[in-house]
Amino acid sequence: MPYINMANRDFGDMLRSIKRATIRKAVNVKRVNLIDYFDLADGLSRAKNICSRNEVTKAGHIYFSMVGLLNPLDAFIDEDNGFNTTKHVARELAGKIRGWINEYVMDDSSPPQIDIEKFDVELPSYQFSPIADKVDHFKSVFTAECRDVEIYSVGQISIYRTSSLVSNASHRIPEECRSSIPDDTMKEFDSAGKCLAFDLPTACGFHALRGLELVILKYLSEFGVKSGKLKTWNDYVKAVQNLIDNEDGSVKPSSKVAAMIDRMRDLDRNPLMHPHDTLDATQSDLLFNLAAITTVEMARDMERLKGDTAVRGLLEDATKSKTKVSEKAKPRSRTRAGS
């Protein structure tokens, strides 16, 4: 992934260099809010243009050129963006602006209010030029610190939105199926999505298959199979097939699910365990989707099992009730005395 150098000559270049990016720090992956950076660059540019004038300027013009910069500066300071040194300069700049406003625009009331009459007061350049100096200082520190902050441009993968892959790839599983899916499976699919987004295709395959295996274990458990002794995917396939072949079983797993698990075992899971076998972006995308589809089929089968079990329970209750009614309706035999 290409490194984006943000050390540019002006704020326009600074903004244009941030391409739909994410900031990557240690194990953190964070999406950059481009609107915040746009507002910051725009505010810095306007404040610099007005405060760099070497001429008498009305206080109102200066005020309106700077006041819009405060919110973007505060957002920049509060964000976990990696620009720790620049944040110190941002605080100084924000403090300088607020101090200037208090001195040249606010009145003496408590709390202070804007004195509109002061907007027409003409100020010499030395009374506002320090703001321009602070803006230049911010730019210099920001430019230097950009060399140590890693920012990457992530292109679209297949039909997925990059933000969806990075933040909630597990939503590939339809919402109506998620109640049957273990939480750890959802986490594995989220990890698989991050790997897919950041060009780690083989790792994507590992996470997708780990998530699928967790669903298989729950699936077998729902059908009454104790999975403690099952060690391989071949064991899982045999366990499902035994349930299907069992003539005494009242509720059987779907033969479609059995075939899908066996297909994943034979063509995806087993080959990927070999160190010389790797996936490319297309293969990992397909594997991610196949794992999700197989997961959904098992979730639907588990929901069917719950429904069939509930119906069977109702029928059994109805049969028991009918039996009790029949027993109560039978005439009682009478025994005559002395017989």
- Domain limits of the chain? 11-153, 162-327
Q: How high is the mean pLDDT of the chain?
A: 81
Q: Which amino acid is at 287?
A: L
Q: Is 84's pLDDT higher than 60?
A: yes
Q: Which of 94-103, 242-251, 315-324 has the lowest mean pLDDT?
A: 315-324
Helix (H, G, I), strand (E, B) or coil at 103: helix
Q: What is the pLDDT of residue 156?
A: 67
Contact 70, 98 (CB under 8 A): yes
Cβ count near 169 (within 10 Å): 26
Q: What is the pLDDT of residue 248?
A: 73
Residue of higher predicted confidence among 158 and 36: 36
Helices (H), the chain: 11-16, 34-51, 59-66, 70-78, 84-104, 129-146, 162-168, 183-197, 201-222, 233-245, 255-264, 270-272, 281-329
Contact 223, 237 (CB under 8 A): no
Scanning the structure block, which residue is given the tokens 């028991």? 320
Residue of higher predicted confidence among 280 and 271: 280
Highest mean pLDDT among 74-78, 147-151, 330-334: 74-78
Q: What is the mean pLDDT of residues 4-16?
A: 43
Confidence band of 16 (pLDDT split at 50, 70, 90): very low
Q: Is 69's pLDDT higher than 90?
A: yes
Beta bridge partners of 123: 57
Q: What is the mean pLDDT of residues 322-335?
A: 55
Q: Is 100's pLDDT higher than 80?
A: yes
Cβ count near 29 (within 10 Å): 16
Closest CA to 151 of 61, 30, 261, 46: 30
In angstroms, the CA 285 to CA 202 distance is 10
Q: What is the pLDDT of residue 81?
A: 83
Q: Is 149's pLDDT higher than 90?
A: no
Q: What is the mean pLDDT of residues 245-260?
A: 82
pLDDT one-digit tens code per residue, 277-305? 788 888 889 999 999 999 999 999 888 88
Handedness of CA 222, 228, 231, 234 (dihedral sign): negative
Beta bridge partners of 106: 114
Q: Is 22's pLDDT higher than 50?
A: no
Q: Is 268's pLDDT higher than 80?
A: no
Closest CA to 205 of 216, 192, 215, 217: 192
Q: Which of 68-72, 209-213, 231-235 has the lowest mean pLDDT?
A: 231-235
pLDDT one-digit tens code per residue, 116-134? 999 999 999 999 999 999 9
Cα Rg of the chain, angstroms: 34
Confidence band of 231 (pLDDT split at 50, 70, 90): confident
Question: pLDDT > 70: what percent of the chain?
Answer: 76
In angstroms, the CA 58 to CA 140 distance is 28
Q: What is the pLDDT of residue 5?
A: 38
pLDDT one-digit tens code per residue, 193-205? 988 888 888 999 9
Q: What is the pLDDT of residue 137?
A: 95
What the block records as the tokens of 200 is: 């780690």
Q: Which of 32-41, 217-226, 270-279, 308-317 has the lowest mean pLDDT?
A: 308-317
